[in-house]
Chain A
């Protein structure tokens, strides 16, 4: 009976498809362990760079400076291809950067989004925080702001690797992608909303397949005598492709 309970407990834990871990040690033991640096992923060099700033013998830099040092290290090293220039090309083959910094003492925040032509994402975010009353600048205007505040640029953020990745994706008919409810479903754009497409063209026929419970399990398009699945639910997030 006891083993059955354990088995049931194990199955219940498996049912919840999440996972967790906690550090050892109590609060009293940890109270004397400051400073602390924590980072997503095994980006050791980034943590070491932040640690050097925050633990310096002369009293150390600020927490904000340490975060900038750590994230900048990752931008230079292009950690996993998910940070900094030279990775994650968009549909046009261009790399853009998103970054944010927050001071937990003052609740000040600076951020840049979809920033083009500037390699220093976290430094640009810090400049927004320190030299503007805004929180978030985007696109070309973020680029202009960063360069006007002294960051180097404009620079090409692509790399041979990102261009090759993008060319392979084009050859694979731009699959996978992030579009949904558009035509064409499985080739490169330009894309059109399906409603307007069906109204405009009798060649595109949408067919919806239902499962046994009556739910929609997959949508198909008939175009040029080909049945093509929509890929809106394709898994594209993984260790080397994520935010």
Chain B
């Protein structure tokens, strides 16, 4: 799955997700990819979020909606990302997934559970894409 956030020069935010889902899924199964607030979410006034992992579990918690709403209430991106992941892990200790969070100022962070996660960033102060590894 790719989940992507773009903030333009005016501060307008868009997010998107594209995936072919889980391998050997039961035909008709839909994961979290097309579910608003699960795989991605954005609000110009706050920031955005992207997610990846076990969609069957993640879509039960809408982690990206949670991240954006936590930032709206004042949380920093790192805390918001950690909080969203921990809410899932409390109920599903074997859950595998990750989120990145970015606020409208451009501060970003990631959190994960069950695997090592990487996310990519490019802004105008970088010469090329930088990959950030989120270690277990």
Contacts and interface: CB of A to CB of B under 8 A. Distances in A.
A71 B21 CA distance: 15
A50 interface: yes
A47 B107 CA distance: 17
Interface string A223-243: 000000000010111110111
Contact of B123 (A19, A34, A157): A34
B23 A122 contact: no
B18 A235 contact: no
A122 B125 CA distance: 28
A109 B24 CA distance: 28
Nearest to A44: B129
Interface in B65-90: 76-78, 81-82, 85-86, 89
Contacts of A109: 36
A42 to B, nearest CB: 4
Nearest to B49: A38
Contacts of B132: 21, 23
Contacts of A41: 2, 52, 118-120
Interface residues of A toward B: which range? 35 or more
B16 A67 contact: yes
B116 to A, nearest CB: 7
Contacts of A100: 16-17, 33-36, 39-40
B8 A236 contact: no
**Chain B interface size, under 10 / 10 to 19 / 20 to 34 / 35 or more:** 35 or more
A97 B106 contact: no
A60 B56 CA distance: 37
A63 B43 CA distance: 13
Contacts of B12: 62-63, 104-105
Interface in A85-114: 85, 87-92, 94-105, 107, 109, 111-114
Contacts of A55: 124
A104 B14 CA distance: 5
A44 B4 CA distance: 12
Contacts of B4: 37-40, 46-47, 50, 67, 70-71
Given A98-B33, A109-B36, A40 B3 contact: yes
A82 B82 contact: no
B18 A63 contact: no
A95 B50 contact: no
A221 interface: no
29 contacts: A18-B111, A21-B133, A23-B107, A27-B105, A39-B2, A40-B3, A40-B98, A40-B100, A40-B119, A41-B120, A44-B120, A44-B129, A47-B129, A50-B122, A54-B6, A71-B16, A82-B2, A91-B26, A96-B20, A97-B20, A98-B21, A100-B36, A101-B15, A105-B12, A112-B34, A113-B33, A242-B54, A242-B55, A243-B22
Interface of A: 16-23, 25-27, 30-44, 46-48, 50-51, 54-55, 59-60, 62-64, 66-68, 70-71, 74-75, 79, 81-85, 87-92, 94-105, 107, 109, 111-114, 121-122, 125, 135-136, 138-139, 157, 165-166, 169, 174, 176-179, 233, 235-239, 241-243
Interface of B: 1-9, 11-36, 39-44, 48, 50-56, 58, 76-78, 81-82, 85-86, 89, 93-94, 96-98, 100, 102, 105-125, 128-129, 131-136
